[in-house]
Structure 1
């Protein structure tokens, strides 16, 4: 064999020597990628779920939930009446009744307005010498005494400042201000009640703590007025209703 004919043969051997490892490496990478995607399982296996099967299963789930919905709607109709309009009308009527009883609606009628305020300085700009700071301000017990007297006289609706007093209202004194349903007020404090004016005046006159407050009015200059009206306006309660119930903390011992 001559050198001229041996060169091409050597070139073909060199291409095979380097080409085979490259092809094997590429095949190995392809196999590794396929294994990673399939998670070790067969990609084209016959047991793999088909798209049509997934759609069919989803449709069955929808049908089942729709049946449950229809059953619940039927149960609601059986409870409140077959007509949704009738059921809604009944619920709204019941809600209106409860709203009036709960004090959510504004009302008006004959009533009484009571105003309490802190003591004022005299003409010389002074307070009584023997007065303490507590003697010169309206306290929580004074406001509660007025409210209790009004309720005991059968007041139909009571308002303090610009808020309706309901079963969950609790006026509290914080320093020289009043806290009611998260809002603070400074004196004068105004209480408005609708009801029998004569009965409410009598209840205020007979209440021991109100009588004590009136003595402080004379002695230290606190403010107190009562004003009757033939058509007094009382607002409805507009704050969110948060009902809380007492729960036992543990076994009761006797």
Structure 2
């Protein structure tokens, strides 16, 4: 009799267990939405940065393609006055919306090697990495040296370009990048090099290059092909020197 009871209990319990297992699988599939519930490589910061960089680069390419289509359609509507056309070209060159080629310099900045980090556990971690201030110092020195055009990570730098640190990555035009950071400038190479040598900030950076092997390399380039800036030119906010710092949003940004 006991055996019959056990058999009947098993027959009743087995379908219930299978039903519970099915519910668990269904819940897991719904939550995962077809993806791995325990992703491996994409959880690392480097993987996330690379994924976001690829996505942003794709959107920038789409924006550039659409802009070219708009310009072609505008050109089909009628010819532009030659004087106005020249003014437009000159302004485009100054703003950075046309590609340029010429001799110049490329400065490469790197974090300290991993072995140096391991050998100096008591050293402040901020001393062993490249920061936005380091990149800004190089860019400012190159502008001071008369650079005609500058790019960072092969992306054109314009007057509204902002360089920001986010974790151990640097964000440029909304796209995160990991080191090494390559900063190229087109112009007179001797003047550009002198401006780098005269920079007090870069002189201070050289101390950390010697102490902790931060990467700082300057390379002469006989020809640099620099792309045009492909992002938006809308001014999001601005302040007037000498007046209270109350940002004024542009009509384009506010949608008015």
TM over 0.5: yes
User: 1:167, 1:247 → 2: CA distance?
Assistant: 15
Unaligned runs of 5+ in 1: 1-83
The structural deviation recorded for 1:203 is 1.1
Q: 1:93-242 to 2 correspondence within 5 Å?
A: 93-122=86-115, 126-242=118-234
User: 1:98, 1:133 → 2: CA distance?
Assistant: 43
The structural deviation recorded for 1:173 is 0.9
Match of 1:66 in 2: none
The structural deviation recorded for 1:177 is 0.5
Asked if the contact 1:131–1:220 (Cα under 8 Å) also holds between the matched residues in 2, the reply is: no
Asked if the contact 1:119–1:137 (Cα under 8 Å) also holds between the matched residues in 2, the reply is: yes
Query: CA RMSD of the aligned region, Å?
Result: 2.3
User: So what's the TM-score if we normalise by structure 2?
Assistant: 0.60
Structure 1's 157 and 247: CA in aligned 2 closer, same or farther, altered over 3 A?
Answer: closer
Unaligned runs of 5+ in 2: 1-76, 245-256
1:177-219 Cα offsets, whole Å, 9 max, x none, are 0111111100000000001111111111111111111110111
The structural deviation recorded for 1:89 is 4.7
Structure 1's 86 and 122: CA in aligned 2 closer, same or farther, altered over 3 A?
Answer: closer
Structure 1's 181 and 93: CA in aligned 2 closer, same or farther, altered over 3 A?
Answer: same
Asked if the contact 1:127–1:220 (Cα under 8 Å) also holds between the matched residues in 2, the reply is: no
**How many correspondences in the alignment?**
166
User: So what's the TM-score if we normalise by structure 1?
Assistant: 0.60
User: 2:212, 2:155 → 1: CA distance?
Assistant: 29
Asked if the contact 1:120–1:127 (Cα under 8 Å) also holds between the matched residues in 2, the reply is: no
Structure 1 or 2, whichever has the larger Rg, is 1
Secondary structure, counterpart of 2:118 in structure 1: coil
